[in-house]
Structure 1
Amino acid sequence: MTILHVSGVTNWGGGENHIENLYYELEKSNLNVKQYIFCVKDSVFHKRLIEANYNCIPATLGIKIDPRFIFKLIRVCRSKKIDTIHIHDPTALTLSVIADRISKKLPPFIFSKKTSFEIKNRKSTLFKYNYKKIEKYICVSKAVAEVTSKRIEDTSKITTIYNGIRFSNKTTQTDFQLREKFNISPDKVIVGNIGNHIRAKNLLTFINVINDIVNTKKLKQFHFIQIGDFTKKTQIYLDKIKEYNLEEYVSLTGFINNASNFIPQFDIFMLTSQSEGLPQVINEAFYFKVPVISTNPGGIPEIIKNGYNGFLSEVNDYKDLSNHLVALNANKELRNSFIEKSHNQIINGFSSEVMASKTYKVYKSIIEKQKNK
């Protein structure tokens, strides 16, 4: 079978990590799968694919709906004899639907829904999400599947396949040590967060937690590290940090390649998102044996049971997050318990190998269905 992964994303995040892991596992499985990744030319994702020697086909996406991207997609499907197009984001879905409307001969679609954002109840949006060529919707969590089912006409097409992490490329090797680079004393507890500076990651809550810890609780033993690509929102966060006089207690690093390799340098991982599908970074913290405190959007409660293998708080509840942080830091036995349970969970059920095997079965069923038509 020949699979074309289509991405319309220009930056790097969990969705792109998922594509890389899926490609890698299918490539090494010897299942006679030929794959191409159709991506945005000169994007961060494109450059990573080149470095990793992945079979990528770049296309120009200079505007939101770029004819150059669309017509190249049509040509590639014909020349490479693609069996199935696996679409990985809403932008790629829009462009793929337009391409099919023009050519009328593209192969069947699979769409991966990776966020818990509801599908908007607009005619154009509903049209593309219910497009006739979509044979399967792969959701990264049951919560995402539930949200998706509200707007999809044929819910029998929806399935859940949890994202998995690739154990083989996990390493603690980094170009520098966080404590040295940011002059963090050995007695400080490092609380880490990884996420690009976008609305979904809700970094104002992250800053509000720090404010509560430092200025309300008067606790000075923590240092907070936030790794993620800067955006237009970054200045808002910097202004808040300055307003609360928190410069001494928090470091925003910006984008760091292979950011998950720094997780072992965290003492505690804290996620404050307001919208998630199923964030890979939590599973990576589990793998590296770092205890996790998180908010509870999307599929996060499917992998963290509050008080059992981590702490959960409601979205925006910075006071509860702050209380959990203090409680976890003060209880070594609880930290160890969280670590053991979470690590066992990730090892036994959330590998990229399992994810790829389940996805392959979806590909196979769709291709066999087309042959039998």
Structure 2
Amino acid sequence: MKILHLSAVRNWGGGEKHLENLCLELADNHPEVRTIILCRKGDILEQRLKEKNIRHTTARVFTNFDLRYAFKIIQICRKEGIDLIHIHDPKALALAIVADKFYNLPPFIFSKKTSFPIRQRKSTLYKYNYPKIRRILCVSEESRRVMAGNAEEFKLKQIYHGFRPKQEQERLSFLKIREKLQIPKGKTVIGNIGNHTWPKNLETFLETAFHLIYNERRKDIYFVQIGNFGRETSGLQKKLKELNLEEYFRFYGFIADASSLLPAFKVLTLTSQSEGLPNVLYEAAYYKIPIVSTNVGGIPEIVQHKESGLLAEAFNPEEIAKNILFILANKESAKKFTEKAYDKLLKKFTTKQMARETLEVYKEVLNER
């Protein structure tokens, strides 16, 4: 079985970690599957694939309809005898549709990795209902719900991305991590890992920090935010200064294998306004870091309030801050939450299970031809 994976994203995030994990898991446990990835030339994903020795090729992508990428799809399908194309982001989907107009491509599978609503534009609805798409793999039940009504129901299949312990780096010591991140002595770390995009709603993370530092007078806390800088960054940096948080809060930008830094966090805090199901939740559960998050997207499918973490409504920094204070003040409850999250991770959210379920979908689609 020959699978071509398409990714046209610029930055590294949970969706790209899913692609990497899927290919590694298939290679380890399903040798009957041969994969190749087409990614953007010169971006982080290409470097990661080189490091992990995952078979890939590249093409330039400067516009949403860059024909060089589209024609590269055709070239690979002809040369490799591709049976199925697995598409991992909307831009790659648009480029695959363009390529299909020039050459009869094999069937598509599309991975829906977000849960924000589908735009009700003709071009968007056409893209998600393109006849070559035989299945849409939704990262969470919430993602599946969002897609319902915007695509044929029988095509929707929910598969969690999962966690791959073999991918984790050797654990750094607590002191080494604090030294690497230059955490001031005596400070308790509240961390967030996520790219600077609007769904992550990092403005609320800043407002949560302000509330804890100045209203709750917790100047023993230091806030760490790790993730790719982007369009939102300048506004966030401006707000950081306006709130007078520079002594207590730092944006670190992209750090490779950021999950290895989680052991320094007393609490992982997500303030997102929209999510599919962020990969960092799996990583926090693995490292047994207490989770405080907003109750959006697929997050409550892995974090149950007062069972495996604490949830708050989006755009509510006071409630998020209250949950953080509860974790810091109640070590036994925090330990109970992390044990529950860890057990659930190993039972339900592994990449081994994800790869097996994905392969079943591949076989279904190929048997329908």
Distance apart, 1:172 and its partner CA: 4.5
Cα distance in 2, alignment partners of residues 9 and 185 from structure 1: 35
Distance apart, 1:182 and its partner CA: 4.6
Match of 1:338 in 2: 337
Match of 1:150 in 2: 149
The aligned runs of 1:26-175 (5 Å cut-off) are 26-103=26-103, 105-152=104-151, 154-174=152-172
**For residue 35 of structure 2, what is the amino acid of its counterpart?**
Q
Any conservation in 2 of the 1:166–1:351 contact (CA below 8 Å)? Answer: yes
Distance apart, 1:173 and its partner CA: 3.6
Cα distance in 2, alignment partners of residues 30 and 336 from structure 1: 37
Cα distance in 2, alignment partners of residues 58 and 182 from structure 1: 33
Cα distance in 1, alignment partners of residues 50 and 282 from structure 2: 26
Distance apart, 1:216 and its partner CA: 1.2
Any conservation in 1 of the 2:64–2:94 contact (CA below 8 Å)? Answer: no
Cα distance in 2, alignment partners of residues 129 and 320 from structure 1: 37
Question: What is the DSSP-based 3-state SS (H/G/I as helix, E as strand, rest coil) of the residue aligned with 2:269?
Answer: strand
When normalised by structure 1's length, the TM-score is 0.96
* Structure 1 residues 15-57: Cα deviation after superposition (integer angstroms, max 9, x where no partner): 0000000000001113411100011111111111112111001
Match of 2:193 in 1: 194
Q: Which segment is superposed worse, 24-33 or 310-319?
A: 24-33
CA distance 1:190–1:172, change in 2 (3 Å): farther
Match of 2:206 in 1: 207
Cα distance in 2, alignment partners of residues 32 and 182 from structure 1: 43
Cα distance in 1, alignment partners of residues 176 and 201 from structure 2: 26
Cα distance in 2, alignment partners of residues 124 and 365 from structure 1: 28
Question: What is the DSSP-based 3-state SS (H/G/I as helix, E as strand, rest coil) of the residue aligned with 1:187?
Answer: coil
CA distance 1:55–1:244, change in 2 (3 Å): same
Distance apart, 1:156 and its partner CA: 0.8
Cα distance in 2, alignment partners of residues 343 and 160 from structure 1: 22
The aligned runs of 1:298-337 (5 Å cut-off) are 298-337=297-336
**For residue 164 of structure 2, what is the amino acid of its counterpart?**
R
Instruction: Please tell me the root mean square deviation across aligned C-alpha atoms, in Å.
Output: 1.4
Cα distance in 2, alignment partners of residues 140 and 30 from structure 1: 21
* Structure 1 residues 55-98: Cα deviation after superposition (integer angstroms, max 9, x where no partner): 00101112221111111111111111110000000001100011
Any conservation in 2 of the 1:172–1:262 contact (CA below 8 Å)? Answer: no
**For residue 153 of structure 2, what is the amino acid of its counterpart?**
T
Cα distance in 1, alignment partners of residues 123 and 330 from structure 2: 52
**For residue 162 of structure 1, what is the amino acid of its counterpart?**
Y
* Structure 1 residues 176-201: Cα deviation after superposition (integer angstroms, max 9, x where no partner): 93422454345321111101111111
Distance apart, 1:222 and its partner CA: 1.0
CA distance 1:151–1:356, change in 2 (3 Å): same
Cα distance in 2, alignment partners of residues 325 and 85 from structure 1: 43
Question: What is the DSSP-based 3-state SS (H/G/I as helix, E as strand, rest coil) of the residue aligned with 1:5?
Answer: strand
Match of 1:10 in 2: 10
* Structure 1 residues 132-164: Cα deviation after superposition (integer angstroms, max 9, x where no partner): 001001000000000001211x21110100110
Cα distance in 1, alignment partners of residues 201 and 170 from structure 2: 27
Q: Which segment is superposed worse, 285-294 or 226-235?
A: 226-235
* Structure 1 residues 272-314: Cα deviation after superposition (integer angstroms, max 9, x where no partner): 1111101110111000000000011110011111111100011
Unaligned 5+ segments in structure 1 are none
Cα distance in 2, alignment partners of residues 233 and 125 from structure 1: 24
Distance apart, 1:244 and its partner CA: 1.4
Any conservation in 2 of the 1:191–1:270 contact (CA below 8 Å)? Answer: yes
Any conservation in 2 of the 1:22–1:356 contact (CA below 8 Å)? Answer: yes
Cα distance in 2, alignment partners of residues 6 and 141 from structure 1: 21
* 1:362 aligned onto 2:358: no
* Structure 1 residues 216-239: Cα deviation after superposition (integer angstroms, max 9, x where no partner): 111112111101111232121122
Cα distance in 2, alignment partners of residues 7 and 209 from structure 1: 34
Question: What is the DSSP-based 3-state SS (H/G/I as helix, E as strand, rest coil) of the residue aligned with 1:177?
Answer: helix
Any conservation in 2 of the 1:305–1:312 contact (CA below 8 Å)? Answer: yes
When normalised by structure 2's length, the TM-score is 0.97
**For residue 303 of structure 1, what is the amino acid of its counterpart?**
I
Any conservation in 1 of the 2:117–2:146 contact (CA below 8 Å)? Answer: yes
Identity percentage over the alignment? 43
CA distance 1:228–1:248, change in 2 (3 Å): same
**For residue 36 of structure 1, what is the amino acid of its counterpart?**
I
Distance apart, 1:245 and its partner CA: 1.3
Cα distance in 1, alignment partners of residues 280 and 55 from structure 2: 25
